[in-house]
A and B are shown apart, each in its own frame.
Chain A
Amino acid sequence: MLRRDFLKALGCVPLICTAPDLAIAASPTGQYQNLLILIEFKGGNDGLNMAIPYADDAYYALRPRIAIPRDQVVQLDERTGLHPALQTMLPLWQAGELAVVQGIGYPDPNMSHFRAIEIWDTASASNEYLQQGWLSRTFAQFPPPQSYIAEGVSIGSADLGPLAGGARAIILNNADQFSRQAKLADDALIRSGNAALAHILKVENDIQHAASHLSGHYTFTTEFPKTTFGNAIHTASEIIANQSGVAVVRISLNGFDTHTNQQPTQARLLKEFADGVVALKAALTELNRWDSSLLMTYSEFGRRPQDNAGNGTDHGTTAPHFIIGGKVKGGLYGKPPALQQLENGNLTYGVDFRSLYSTIHEKWWRLPASSIPGGHFSNLNIIRT
């Protein structure tokens, strides 16, 4: 008996508890050949200084200490521009491969880092508590091929985020090291009602599966930046180069909790991000995967429009996010920041974040968006067919 089967019998793994659509489960469709790459900005990125409403006087009035001077903004059109640290991404914009979706949020926003990211990771409503990540729910209903090394790979984070609670997912920082060590994971057979032990055994099982398929080296001509994020991008590219496949890669970038002295920190992080994305595009192009890859950034919340006395910003509500890829219809989408109509000092949202998830399901993977709870969310017209 495979361990997965006995876990199923035990009901330890929610993934398997959700009755799968057997017809689809039996013959995985090709939709996961379209790869999703999630890039998480941990700590609440200040979106107003990422996609900047530089023509709005209110922007400069609210941020006497941290506004980006107009002449440094990388202008996208006559009223919106990018942080100067994102300069290297301008060619992506010019190629029509960068969509900037503004004003993303949800009703009754939560400003706790931890609750807010839980809402994003589970695609729940503000007052709804779910255990399973949104991708785990999708994969339970529509499993990626068994032959994939894993359904999802997470890099740069200790948690699985949207892959938590059931997906066949691994956390990986170095593919070589992982393969070398994997022989230490044994494959014991056990029946136990002990949830902690069941978790350890599931992880061992996922390691075994991934390691048995994770082989072969690809030598990139792309040069990866020598930063933490650059290393993560390199690892991600190696995983993607592996012929065995993976449906989702999630990369986390830390350090966006900028209550004080925000400018140098955010500039450094955004530069790391931009340089990493440029390298990722080059690597994916080498692999002939650029057109079948979709990158999406996200963060648990945006920050308050008004800066604080410490040259930083406190927790806020909505933010813009980037969608990038060879099949992306570039441009500005969503709701530009309405700085004259703040609610309690905060921006109001225009695009529910679950619309992005819905778009990924229906337009990118061509799946019904039925795994997104809380009703149907309208799709964004940001993907070329």
Chain B
Amino acid sequence: MRYYCLGLAFLFTATLAQAAGMGEADAWHLLARTGFAPSPAELSTYARLSRSAAVDQLLAQSTQQAVTPVPAELAAYSPPPRLQDVSEAEKKQLQRQQAQYGMQLRAWWMQEMVATPSPLTEHMTLFWHNHFVSSMEKVKSPALMLTQNQLLRRDALGNFGDMLHAVAKDPAMIIYLDNLQNRKAQPNENFAREVMELFTLGIGNYTEQDVREAARAFTGWSLDRDTGTFLDRPFQHDNGVKTILGQTGNFNGDDVLDILLQQPATAEFITQKLWRDLISANPDPAEVKRFAATFRNQHYEIRPLLRAMLLSDAFWAPRHRGNLVKSPVELLVGSVRQLSIHQLDPRVLALTSRQLEQDLFAPPNVKGWPGNDNWINSTTLLNRKQFLDKLTRGADMPVPEQYMMQPPTPQQRLARLTDRSMNRIDYAPDNWIGTLATHPQEQYRHAERLLLASTPSEPVASGLPPADYVRTLLLDPVYQLK
């Protein structure tokens, strides 16, 4: 029997790292956890920096806006048609258009993640999308989902309190958690419950009575359907006295959010979730409390919290390396970035991500994707491997017709069938591996270091041609880890 030890992989870096820098193993860990597995250029750039210089650079380079232009038809809000007023044929047409716009929206974000100069920004935007969940499945309007995405990107590294207040009045959230129907006569409890359970305090830190009282405070918050903007309807607001988490007063929704932000549990809940995202599946309670106290004292500024976590001993501990599962988005976007695959249609990435159970803009429920080990089940693991296998074989990955804005002409359809190069992935392993180093031996070592969080679970047979070598690494279970 052979024994392999994770972590041995990192020994080689000592000899390769620049004198002052943290080295490639550290750079790989930092980049994979804060964005996507690194490209060759990113790896060598960051390897030369010290840990703190690298973290500061990542934080400093974060952005607030996407670099990928938004398709005009997505950005334009149009009020939902009354379904009783449209014919069956029109309904079908609307559904078709909705599916296309939905796919365009997902593809837009995928493209942004592939192209972004700041993977950290996209990583955190996705983190908040999975925290302040809304779903296209219920919201229906791509424009409103896009607005929420822009909000989350703007505040991704800003202030959590500001983001919470903004999200509570965000049109997509109003629709998703049924605040549209929240009237004083009979409050709808959905938003009040989830804001406490999932956005701030966490379960166990509030009572059913708190949910009912908070729901009263949120009454009146609604949406102007014609413009798709937040609407406060004072005549639907319950002006009575409420008692929430021990505080009594004639509270409105903003007051409740401030009460939630005062609770230490809120800072701890967010910090714990970030720990699971950045460090390991099992947060250290004492450390979480320490980070959370700072977070709350610094008025919920996200950047200093991230800096502290990314420079902590726990983040760099060898036992925490390669111990998290890549999300589908990380796997797909990361592979495309790492292997420098340029022409893959972002709609294919979006559809594959859906197949891998991370459908962007449509998490399964308000708790979001549970993540880590939950990404891997018998179906998703096989689908992951199938995608990676196709990628290295230069297989066809066409966009299904129902997601095309214009149906293809018969000539185009014929061309798609006969000219196989049309949909083919442009990956050429020989060229790619050749860019990594001059000597063939070095090329293989570089590829392994770049692609895997640690040594492969089984040693790769020697003498494989480049394409087989790369495929073996991609299909190794360790490739699923970050």
Given contacts A181-B386, A206-B378, contact A195 B373 (CB under 8 A): yes
Is the pair B323, A194 in contact by a Cβ cutoff of 8 Å? yes
Residue of B nearest to A346 (CB): B208
Q: How far is the CB of A345 from chain B (nearest CB, A)?
A: 9
Are the C-beta atoms of A310 and B208 separated by less than 8 Å? no
A181, A203, A254, A314: the one within 8 Å of B377 (CB): A203
The answer, yes or no, to whether B181 is at the interface (CB within 8 Å) is: yes
Bound CA span A36–B2, Å: 41
Instruction: Decide if A314 touches B188 in the complex (CB within 8 Å).
Output: yes
Interface residues in A137-196 (C-beta closer than 8 Å to B): 158-160, 170-173, 178, 181-182, 184-186, 188-196
Q: Of all chain B residues, which has the CB nearest A210? A: B378
Is B378 a contact partner of A188 (Cβ separation < 8 A)?
no
Asked whether any CB of chain B lies closer than 8 Å to the CB of A23, the reply is: no
Give every chain A residue within 8 A of B457 (Cβ-Cβ): 188, 190, 192, 197, 201
Partner pick for A191 among B3, B180, B183, B389, CB 8 A cutoff: B3
Interface string of B312-356 (1 = CB under 8 A from A): 000000000011110000000000000000000000000000000
Q: Answer whether A194 and B386 are a contact pair too, CB < 8 Å, given A200-B376, A206-B378.
A: no
Contact with A along B439-482 (1 / 0, CB 8 A): 00000000000000000011000000000000000011110110
Instruction: Verify A200–B208 contact, CB threshold 8 A.
Output: no
In the complex, the answer to whether A310 meets B4 with C-beta atoms within 8 Å is no
Contact of A181 among B180, B183, B382 (CB under 8 A): B382
Say whether B322 contacts A260, CB under 8 Å: no
The reply to whether the CB of B57 lies closer than 8 angstroms to some CB of chain A is no
Interface residues of B in 1-43 (CB under 8 A from A): 1-6
Let me know if B385 and A310 touch, CB within 8 A: no
Given A1-B1, A173-B379, A310-B178, the answer on whether A184 and B188 have CB atoms closer than 8 Å is no
Does A115 lie at the interface of the complex (its beta carbon under 8 Å from any beta carbon of B)? yes
Q: Does any Cβ of B come within 8 Å of A199's Cβ?
A: yes
Given A309-B181, A312-B188, do A194 and B322 touch, yes or no (CB 8 Å)?
yes
Given A184-B382, A210-B378, A308-B188, decide whether A191 and B4 contact each other with a Cβ distance below 8 A: yes
A67: Cβ under 8 A from any B Cβ: no
Within the assembled complex, what's the spacing in Å between the Cα atoms of A185 and B475? 8
Residue of B nearest to A192 (CB): B6
A72 at the interface (CB under 8 A from B): no
B477 touches A171 (CB 8 A): no
With a cutoff of 8 Å between Cβ atoms, the chain B residues found around residue A206 in the complex are 378
Which of B69-77, B189-197, B283-291 makes up part of the contact surface?
B189-197
B178 engages A259 (CB within 8 Å)? yes
Tell me, rounded to whole Å, the shortest Cβ–Cβ distance linking B470 to chain A.
15
Let me know if A344 is at the binding interface, CB within 8 A: yes
Choose from A173, A184, A186, A188 the contact partner of B386 (Cβ within 8 Å): A184
Closest partner residue, chain B, to A171 (CB atom): B377
What are the interface flags for A23-43 relative to B under an 8 Å C-beta threshold, 1 for contact and 0 otherwise?
Answer: 000000000000000000011
Q: Return B8 CB to nearest CB of chain A, in Å.
A: 11
Q: Which residues of A contact B213 (CB under 8 A)?
A: none
Contact A199 B376 (CB under 8 A): yes
Partner-contacting stretch, out of A106-114, A238-246, A280-288: A106-114
Q: Judging by beta carbons under 8 Å apart, are A259 and B365 in contact?
A: no
Which chain B residues lie closer than 8 Å to A194 at the CB level?
6, 322-323, 481
Q: Is there an interface contact between B477 and A310, defined as CB atoms closer than 8 Å?
A: no
Give a binary string over B376-408; 1 marks a CB under 8 Å from any A CB, 0 the rest.
Answer: 111111110110010000000000000000000
Across the interface, do B367 and A178 meet the contact criterion of CB distance under 8 Å?
no
Is there contact, CB below 8 Å, between B385 and A181? yes
By size class, the interface of chain B is: 35 or more
Report if B171 contacts A (CB, 8 A). no
Q: Could you say which residues of chain B place their CB within 8 Å of the CB of A310?
A: 178, 180-182, 188
Q: Does A46 contact B (CB under 8 A)?
A: no
Beta-carbon nearest neighbor of A43 in chain B: B365
The verdict on A178 contacting B186 (CB below 8 Å), with A186-B475, A195-B373, A315-B193 known, is no
Most buried by B among A1, A115, A207, A259: A259
CB distance from B151 to the nearest CB of A (A): 23
Across the interface, which residues of B come within 8 angstroms of A111, CB to CB? 193, 208, 211
Cβ of A259 and Cβ of B188 under 8 Å apart?
Answer: yes
A185: contacting residue among B181, B190, B208, B381, CB under 8 A? B381
Would you call B259 an interface residue if the criterion is a C-beta within 8 Å of the partner chain's C-beta atoms?
Answer: no
Given contacts A178-B382, A200-B480, A315-B189, contact A158 B4 (CB under 8 A): no
A197 vs B453: C-alpha distance when bound (angstroms): 11
- Whether B458 contacts A188 by the Cβ 8 Å rule is yes
Nearest-neighbour CB distance to chain A for B200, whole angstroms, equals 14
Indicate if B203 sits at the interface (CB-CB under 8 A). Answer: yes
With a cutoff of 8 Å between Cβ atoms, the chain A residues found around residue B180 in the complex are: 260, 310
Q: How far is the CB of B303 from chain A (nearest CB, A)?
A: 28
Closest to A154 in B: B377
Interface residue from B186, B193, B378 paired with A203 (Cβ < 8 Å): B378
Residues of B within 8 Å of A190, CB to CB, are 4, 457-458, 477
Q: In whole angstroms, what is the CA distance A312 to B181 when docked?
A: 10
Q: Which of B246-268 contact A (CB under 8 A)?
A: none
Q: Which residues of A contact B367 (CB under 8 A)?
A: 113-114
Q: Within the complex, what minimum Cβ distance (angstroms) separates B198 from chain A?
A: 8
Interface residue B64 (Cβ < 8 Å from any Cβ of A): no
B364 surroundings in chain A (CB, below 8 A)? 158, 254
Q: Does the CB pair A184–B385 fall under 8 Å? A: yes
Given contacts A190-B477, A195-B373, A308-B181, 17 further A-B contacts (CB under 8 A): A42-B365, A112-B203, A113-B365, A114-B197, A158-B377, A172-B379, A181-B385, A182-B382, A184-B389, A191-B3, A191-B4, A196-B322, A197-B6, A197-B457, A200-B325, A200-B480, A201-B477
A selection of 6 A-B contacts at a CB cut-off of 8 Å is A178-B378, A186-B475, A189-B458, A197-B6, A197-B457, A314-B188
Q: Which 9 A-B pairs have the closest CB atoms?
A: A310-B181, A170-B378, A309-B186, A181-B382, A184-B385, A171-B377, A190-B457, A188-B457, A188-B458
Please report A residues at the B interface, Cβ cutoff 8 Å. Answer: 1, 42-43, 110-115, 158-160, 170-173, 178, 181-182, 184-186, 188-197, 199-201, 203-204, 206-207, 210, 254, 257, 259-260, 308-312, 314-315, 344
